[in-house]
Structures are given as C-alpha cells and as structure tokens.
A and B are shown apart, each in its own frame.
Chain A
Amino acid sequence: MPKTTQCVILLTLLLSVACSPGDPDEVTTSKVYRHAMDGAPASLDPAQAASLYSKFLVVNLYDTLYRYKYLARPYQLQPNLATAMPEISDDGLRLTIEIKKGVHFIDDPVFAGGLGRELKAMDFIYSIKRHFHPSSRAQGAWLWQDRILGLDLWKAEGSDYDQEVSGLRALDNYTIEITLTRPFPQLIHTLTQGFAAVVPREAVEKYGQQLSSHPVGSGPFRLISRNSTRAVLARNTNFRQEPFDLKDEGYDQKTQGEVGLEDLQNKVPPFVDRLEIEFVTEDAARWNAFSAGEIDFIKVPVSQFDNVLSQRNPPILSSQHEDIYQFEAASEAGFIYTNFNMADQRIGYHPDPERNRRNHALRCAMIKAFDWKKRNEIFFYDIGHVFPGVLPPSVPEFDPEADAGYIQRDLESARQLLRVNDWQADNLPVLEYGFPNSVTERQIFEQFRNFMMDMGYPADKIRPLVFATYGDYQRAYSQGKVALINSSWTMDYPDAENNMQLYYGPNAAPGSNSANYNNSEYNRLYEASTALNESTERTQIYRQMNQLLMNDCVSITGIARTLLFLWDKKVIMKPDRSFLGGYFLRFVDLEDSLQTHE
C-alpha cells in the first residue's frame, strides 16, 4: 500500500535526521571513558562557568593559569598554563606570572587559516576583563572586584577592551603582571577557576553568546557534540606535552596505591581519546545505567548506599561490588544549612529590643528542635558529617572541640525556651520555608516541619513556598520573601575564607549572605582577617567568628555530605568532585587490555 510506503519513507527520513552521522573523529579502537553527572551544564563559556557542571567541562575545554594537584590532599596549587608559582612583591600586592610558550588554541575557522593560534598573555587579560563588561553576561566579577587595581575604573569608563587596566598588564607576550588594591591571599585560587580560563578574543567576537555551545580553548579536550542529556569530548591532539609525574601530583602510596596509578608515570596526558559525559538527574536512572555497564563512574545515589556498602563508619564496599568496582568516600567541600532571614522581623532582627530577644530565643529553640541525627540518617545514610557552624571537616580550621550542643537535639530545652519567652502555639509567627521544586526538597521540608511540630510548632504555621526554577527561588529569598532559607554551599576554592564571607554584613542579599546577618563584631573580625593567609592566627579568628554565629542562632548548620564514588576497575583514576572536579579527567586512563570499546 502506498500509505505504508510513505510512512516508511517518512520514518527513514526522520531517522536519518535524528541520528545525524556520528562524528568523523570517532575511532572504533579508541579509549573511551564514560562519566555521569547528576546535572547538565547550562553554558560552556568560561565567563559563565558558575555551576559545578559547567566548571567540570570548562576546565577540560580551556586552560587556566593554575590548577590543583591531582592527588595531593589537602589541595595544593600547581602551575598549569603558568610556568611556575607567581613571583610576589614584598608588600604582597604585585604578582608576576610567566606563562608557557607554544601553547595553541584548538583549530577553528575563527583563526587565520583555521589553525589555532598561540595563546598569549593578552588573552588571559582579555578573559578577566570580560567579567567586567556589562553585556558579556559574565558571572565571575565578584572574585576580583575592588581587588585588582583599575579594573572597576575600567568598567566605569565604559569597558573598552583596548584600554589598559593598570593592575592587569601583559609585560610581554608571556608575562602577566597583576597589581592588587589590597592583600588578597586567595588570588591564586581564583586563577584556577573556570571563570579565569583563557578565551581567544576573536572567538568571543565571532560567536558571541553562542560561544557557550561552541568552545574554542586550549584545554586537554575539545567538544564534539552536546545536547541536554550528554556531551562528547575528544582528546585535543595538540595539547601541550607534559609527562605525568606522580611525585609532582602529590602521590601517596599508602592511601592511593591500589588504583594502579604507578603505570601512568611519564605518560603524556590526556590518556583517553574520548570522554562521554552523561547528564542524568534522576538518581535511579543513573544507578541503573551504571550497573548495566553503560557508564564507568558514578557518584552513588543515597538510595543505593544500603546496597553498595557493607559497613557505614568507615564506609566499606560490599563484597559483591568489591570485585568489579573501585571505591572512594570523600567528604564534600561544602555544607548544607538552613538560614533564618534575619531581615525578617517575624524571626530576625527587630527594632523592639524585647521582641528582638524573643526572636533570638525562638531561633535558638528551633535549632535545638532540629534533629541532625535523623536528617543524616534519612537523607545521608548516616555517613554525612554533622558539625557546628560553618567550618566543615574539610577545612583545616575545623574545630573538633567546637560546641557540639549546637547540633544536638534537645526538645526539652527547646520547649522550655519557648515557654520562658512567652511563645505559644497561637502567637508563634507563620514562616515560609522556600525550596525549588523537587521531590527531595519537598521531603526535606516535610521532615523539617516534623521536627518543629515535635517542639509544638503548629504544622500550618510552617508553610512551603515552592518555586519552579532555582533562579526564582534565589530571587525570592534575595528579596526577603522567604523566612527559612534552605541552601547548600559548595566552596569555590579550598580556603575557609569562602565560607566566612557567607555571613559578612555587606554581602547581605542579593549577595551570598542570604541570612542578612549583620553583626559588627563579626564584620570587624572578617575585615581584619582578609589580609591573612591560612595560619594559627587566622584560625583563631575564624573559630571566634563561628562561635558568634552560633551564639546569635542565625542558621541551622550544618552537614557536609559524604560522597561515595564508584568506578569500573578497568578505569585507572582518582575521581574528584570538589572545587573544580573536572581537572582529574586528563589523568584518567583505561587498562590496555580493555581499551577497545564496542
């Protein structure tokens, strides 16, 4: 029948469009590493590398001046595009950075003859300037504003890329000089960020906003294809030849000896030819794909902890998985917490000193009613790390002696606090608890409400405020419309300063101080510590600030998740997710015997 024929033709046509030819570079016998992430990057433009997922890809597609050592823990900085660590002037305000010669961007029609041109110091300077251009949609200005000499002025004078910034200069093609307005010990950390990755100006000018889906970098990989569910990257064959050195990367045979890293010595990364990165938001689907062998690596979803572990503390892999998978448990660099909106008079600061005192008591009571043990058990399988305040175990400032009462549930004293301060069911305020829509967020809310109900808080006085997008949620709490703000903080760089600024008064909404906490003593201590590097002196100050936060009952905090990584034994690697997790991908290798992949 002609109809059937027509249908067949249509279907074939559709098939041929939808299954557009695989990329020409595909080699059947290449080494392919298949990674899974629990979210998709929105943009691959370094200027917009704000999310974990974007950063993960950006540091592989582009180059940064510095990176972190592959294996050293705690994290240590390592020159990447730079030849060495910066030369720093005595006053700490002037840094001189030499970059490597002969580094080329990947081939792209944007360059003369289609051949990638050499990366120069000016490119780095241009890439930083982009964050201060009003129409670039860049998101990294907060790292450098008020800190690099002349940069803010450059913006005020109209952001003309041809105009020089006094604190950000190329002394020659391979030398960068950065001048600071005040000491900024975290500067080198900021240069590891995806935000600081180097972009060629001509690509930005040609592709504009579309650069975010058409990366032109000099990183170890280049993009082959990407859609909303996966990205495929191929080895950048022109990536600079730098043999792998175990010692240089901070190898520790005692803890890292079992993975097979020794074989990598003196090989030249990147070791795999192709990266297939799947974006799978649903935990169960990701797990199923992993157990079916469709992907090589997974951050194990909490619902599978039972199945994967034979013991929780310390985590031990169950025997049926031991034979096929490698395993690692890592404490995340960040934490989850619930802020009180201090700018909200129902629960925060109040002009009437009496009410102000009662609000403080109410907050403290809610903190006492919060059951961290239960939260940890239900949502983190009891292997998350609960700690008081904002200094999680992953930072050296973490204080094992800190006030553990802050994270200890004590319903009796919570009730008593309410009683003494004249809070009853009928005069307790109605509070909105905000969250972006998701099943888990809703469950976390319901559990929170239950904790408060146990203390005698009426269920209908803690109301969910659900937002369709994360951005709408952010807007709402930035505008003070949410009383209880549940968030998580993922540290940008391994320095606790990144956590302390979360409660610094001038960073109040729309800044990252979503609690709108404003304590002059805390602010003073923060300002006094900004010039300091990590040191005993600074640790003392940070711990003091941490105590201030707890005394003021500003936030129910916190828990640092323990992440479980599982990967196929044929893959040789030490995966990472913290900070700029993606840096490890260039060091991933597959066992030779198994390198062919259907």
Chain B
Amino acid sequence: MVVISCALLIWKIVYKPMNKLPYFVRRLLFGTALVLGVTFISFLLMVHFGPDKTYELIGKNPTEQQIAEVRHALGYDRSFLLRYGSYLRELVTLDFGLSDSSGEKVSSMLARSLPISLLLVVPGFVLGNGLGLILGMLAVWYRGRWLDRLVTGASVAGMSVSFLIIIIGLQVLLCTPHGLNLFPVRGWQVDGLASYLFYVTVPTLALVLVTLGYNTRYYRAIIADESEREHIHALKAYGATPYELMLKHVLKNSLVPILTRLMFSVPLVLISGSLLLESYFGIPGIGQVTFDAITSGDQPVLKAVIGLTGVLFALALTVNDFLYKVVDPRVARS
C-alpha cells in the first residue's frame, strides 16, 4: 500500500510538467513508460515469482552446498533490482545470454524459431483477414438479405468454436486414418514449396477457422459504418459500380481501423496462436520454444519472449496513436 501511494505521488508530481510538453513528446514518454511497465511486471511475475530451475539442474542426493551453487550459477541469489537492471540491459542490447536448459544462445534460438513461426502463421493470418474482409464487404452489400444472414450466422458459429476443438477436430479429420489421412500429424521438415504446403495446410486451416468469425464480424461492422456515410450514399445514387464503391471509397476510408486490427493481432497471433498450434503439431517455432521454456522454467528464454513482445506491442500502441493523429487531427487537438 505504501509503495502504491508513493508511486501515485511521484506520478502526480511528474505528470504536471509533462502536460506542457508537445503532443508527440508526451506520446513518446508514454511509450517509454509503457515499455518500463511491461518489462517490470513481466519480470516480477515471470522471473521473480517464476519457475525455479534449481531442482532440475541438481543431481541426485544433493548437498545444501550444491543447491546453493546451482542457484548461484542461475543467478537466483542476486538481488531483485540487480536482476531487473540486467534484464533491461539485455533488452537494449538484444543479448539475452544462454538458455538455462540447452545452453544455446537465446538470440540464436529466437533467430532459428521465429522464421518458422512466421511461415506457419502468415498464410493463415493473410487468408483469415482477407477472407474476413471479403465476407464482410459482401455481407454489407447484401445487407439484410440471405447472404448477409448466412455470413453473420456463420460468423456467430465460428466465434463459438474453441481453438482447441478446431485443432483436435482438424487433426482427426485430415491427419489420421479415422479421417482422410492426407497430412502429417506433426512435424516440420520443410525443404521446398511442396513440403511447406504439406506441413502448413492443417495449421493454416485451423488458424483461418478460428479467426474468420471474429474477423468477418469486425470488418462487417467497420464497412457497414463507413457505407452509412453520406458521400457513399451519394456515390451509390450516381450509379457507381459495387466494385468501385467498395474498393475505392469504403475500403480506403476504413483503412485505419483495418490497419489497427492487423497491427495489434500480429503479436497475439505470433505468440498465442503459435503457442497452441506449435505445441500441438510439434513445430519447432517460437511458440514451442516458449512452451518448453514455461514447462522447464527456462527464464532467459521467457524473459526474451515476453520482453520483446511487450516492447513490440507498446510500439504498436504508440505508432497507432500517431497514425490516428495523422488521419484525424481532432485527436491531436484534444
């Protein structure tokens, strides 16, 4: 409680002069505060209270001294602030040291696994959003008619299926003798386009199915909003073709909310989406690396993953603010 009230007091004192700074400087400061907050909270939870690897690294029948040695080697005996300080330094230098499990360089683990994850989620991400956008436009164009109802109904159904059910169901249907048995149950031995399609199809389908409902609904709402604008009605009255209308005017004007959604879903899809997909399909991407790090208490890897996604997200938030300001000057005035 004392800590909190002190923090509040400091916040108030610092806040006053900050208010007088120009808008973008303030945004920048806010972004920095965000990064500090993210790193602090994730560090506190994941590292300070986090998993303890000591007992996995000691041999059988250890002495107290051996336990202390392992804790020392892992750096657990250093003070909280010191460890947080070195965490910040690691984030800045992008040097996260070595994994506590495999002894590999964390940076090379990320460099190895990140491209795989990108390859894994990019097709699903593009398709999920592209199809969502197209369906959303179709629904708006045929608003109130059967196609709209179908799309809306299907998206409600899509939103009601758990990711887990989709993954398990697709695996049974497409990868086992109980179904079509066309694709591999697991793995990722990609060395060309054919093998890439072989391994990526089922995860992509899963990703599309789980996001399509939400995407369609979101894009439908945005496009519907935009189509209500007066100039669109006017254009329609002048006999603009649906294609022209949708692509040239409506879509162009909805670009900001669409970009926003895309930007914010990238880190989510990359970490949360690939976490499930990769641990289920045995794909050695960033999600699997993270999952292994959770279940083996590999703090250097966890620190890197949380820190980097947190920073990316904070960046996206800040960039998004700027974006809105550029598009909509009213934001800047207020």
Q: Are A and B in direct contact (Cβ within 8 Å)?
A: yes
Cβ-defined contact, A211 with B103, below 8 A: yes
Nearest CB in chain A: distance from B262 CB, A: 13
Given contacts A134-B72, A468-B51, contact A17 B187 (CB under 8 A): no
Asked whether, in the complex, the Cβ of A510 is within 8 Å of the Cβ of B187, the reply is no
Check if A512 is an interface residue, CB within 8 A of chain B: yes
B62 touches A471 (CB 8 A): no
A45–B51 alpha-carbon span in the complex (Å): 23
B contact residues around A511 at 8 Å (CB): 60-62
CB atoms of B186 and A280 under 8 A apart: yes
- CB-CB under 8 A from A134, the residues of chain B are 69, 72-73
Chain A, Cβ-Cβ closest to B291: A228
Interface string of B142-176 (1 = CB under 8 A from A): 00000000000000000000000000000000011
Contacts of A208 in B (CB 8 A): 103
Q: Are the C-beta atoms of B59 and A139 separated by less than 8 Å?
A: yes
B54 at the interface (CB under 8 A from A): yes
Residue of B whose beta carbon sits closest to that of A507? B61
Q: Residues of B within 8 Å of A, CB-based: how many?
A: 56
The answer to whether A282 and B56 have CB atoms under 8 Å apart is: no
B312 contacts the other chain (CB 8 A) = no
Contact A135 B58 (CB under 8 A): no
Q: Contact mask A467-491 → B, CB, 8 Å, 1/0?
A: 0111110110010000000000000
Q: Tell me if A284 counts as interface (CB < 8 A to partner B).
A: yes
CA distance A564 to B295 in the complex (A): 28
Q: Do A289 and B61 form a contact, CB below 8 Å, given A18-B116, A19-B191, A280-B282?
A: no
Interface assignment of A393: CB less than 8 Å from any CB of chain B: no
B55 within 8 A of A: yes
- B38 contacts chain A at the CB level, 8 A cutoff: no
By the criterion CB–CB under 8 Å, are B282 and A474 in contact?
no
Quick one: which of B53, B60, B63, B105 contacts A471, CB cutoff 8 A?
Answer: B53
How far does the alpha carbon of A11 sit from the alpha carbon of B115 in the complex, in Å? Answer: 10
A469 in complex: contacting residue of B62, B289, B296, CB < 8 Å: B296
In this assembly, does A14 line the interface, its C-beta being within 8 Å of a C-beta of chain B? yes
The residues of B that contact A501 with a CB separation of less than 8 Å are 61
CA distance A280 to B186 in the complex (A): 9
How far does the alpha carbon of A460 sit from the alpha carbon of B297 in the complex, in Å?
A: 30
> Are B73 and A228 in touch, CB under 8 angstroms?
no
Q: Is A217 an interface position by the 8 A CB rule?
A: no
Tell me the complex Cα distance, A266–B44, Å. Answer: 61
| Given A43-B101, A137-B70, A209-B98, A469 and B295 contact (CB-CB distance below 8 Å) | yes
- Given A134-B69, A139-B59, A471 contacting B297 (CB threshold 8 A): yes
Report A551 CB to chain B, min CB distance, Å: 25
CB nearest neighbor in A for B176: A288
CB proximity of A2 to chain B, nearest CB, Å = 16
User: Which residues 383-417 of A sit at the B interface, judged by CB distance below 8 A?
Assistant: none
Q: Which of B73, B102, B187 contacts A43 (CB 8 A)?
A: B102
* Interface status of A227 (Cβ within 8 A of chain B): yes
Residue interface bits A29-67, CB-to-B below 8 A is 1, else 0: 000000000001011010010100000000000000000
B191 / chain A contacts, CB cutoff of 8 Å = 19, 22
A466 at the interface (CB under 8 A from B): no
Which of chain B's residues have a CB closer than 8 A to the CB of A594? none
Question: Known contacts A15-B196, A475-B52; is A45 also within 8 Å of B103 by CB?
Answer: yes
Cα A50 to Cα B70 in complex, Å, equals: 15
B116 touches A137 (CB 8 A): no
Whether B105 contacts A210 by the Cβ 8 Å rule is: yes
Which B residues lie within 8 Å of A228 (CB)? 284, 288-289, 292
Q: Which residue of A lies closest to B63 (CB)?
A: A145
Nearest-Cβ distance from residue B300 to partner chain A, whole angstroms? 11
Known: A50-B59, A511-B62. A289 touches B104 (CB 8 A): no
Chain B 103-114 interface 0/1 with A at a Cβ cutoff of 8 Å (1 = within): 111000000110
Given A213-B103, A227-B284, residue A469 in contact with residue B61 (CB < 8 A):
no
CB-nearest residue of chain A to B66: A141
Closest to A41 in B: B102
Complex CA–CA separation, A230 to B122 (angstroms): 24
A42 and B101 contacting across the interface, CB-CB below 8 Å: yes
Contact in complex: B283, A229 (CB < 8 Å): yes
Is A209 a contact of B175 with CB atoms below 8 Å?
A: no
0/1 interface trace, chain A 419-454, chain B, CB 8 Å (1 if under): 000000000000000000100000000000000000
In Å, the complex CA distance between A289 and B184 comes to: 8
A229→B187 contact, CB < 8 A: yes
* Nearest chain A residue, comparing its CB with the CB of B181: A292
Task: For A11, list chain B residues within 8 Å (CB).
Answer: 119, 122
> B126 near A: Cβ within 8 Å?
yes
Residues of chain B lying within 8 A (CB to CB) of residue A142:
59-62
CA–CA, A209 to B73, complex, Å? 11
Contact A510 B67 (CB under 8 A): yes
**Contact yes or no, B102 A137, CB < 8 A:** no
Q: Do residues A135 and B115 form an inter-chain contact, with CB atoms below 8 A?
A: no
The residue that B282 contacts in the complex, of A210, A285, A475, with Cβ under 8 A, is A285
Contacts of B101 in A (CB 8 A): 42-43
At the interface, yes or no: B185 with Cβ under 8 Å from chain A? yes
Residue pair A210, B284 in contact (C-beta under 8 Å): no
A11-B122, A42-B101, A284-B185 as given contacts; A137 in contact with B57, CB under 8 Å:
yes
Extra pairs beyond A15-B196, A209-B98, A289-B187 (17, CB < 8 Å): A10-B122, A15-B193, A18-B115, A43-B101, A137-B70, A141-B66, A211-B103, A213-B104, A229-B188, A229-B283, A469-B51, A469-B53, A470-B56, A471-B53, A475-B55, A492-B60, A510-B62
Top 6 A-B residue pairs of the complex, sorted by shortest distance between their CB atoms: A212-B103, A471-B56, A139-B59, A474-B55, A511-B61, A209-B103
Instruction: Show the binding face of B for A, using Cβ within 8 Å.
Output: 51-63, 66-67, 69-70, 72-73, 98, 101-105, 112-113, 115-116, 118-119, 122, 126, 175-177, 184-188, 190-193, 196, 282-284, 288-289, 292, 294-297
Q: Identify 24 residue pairs between A and B in the complex whose beta-carbon atoms are under 8 Å apart, listed by A's number.
A: A14-B119, A15-B196, A40-B292, A42-B102, A135-B73, A137-B73, A138-B59, A141-B59, A210-B104, A212-B102, A213-B102, A227-B112, A227-B284, A229-B284, A229-B288, A292-B184, A437-B295, A469-B53, A469-B294, A471-B53, A474-B55, A501-B61, A510-B55, A510-B62
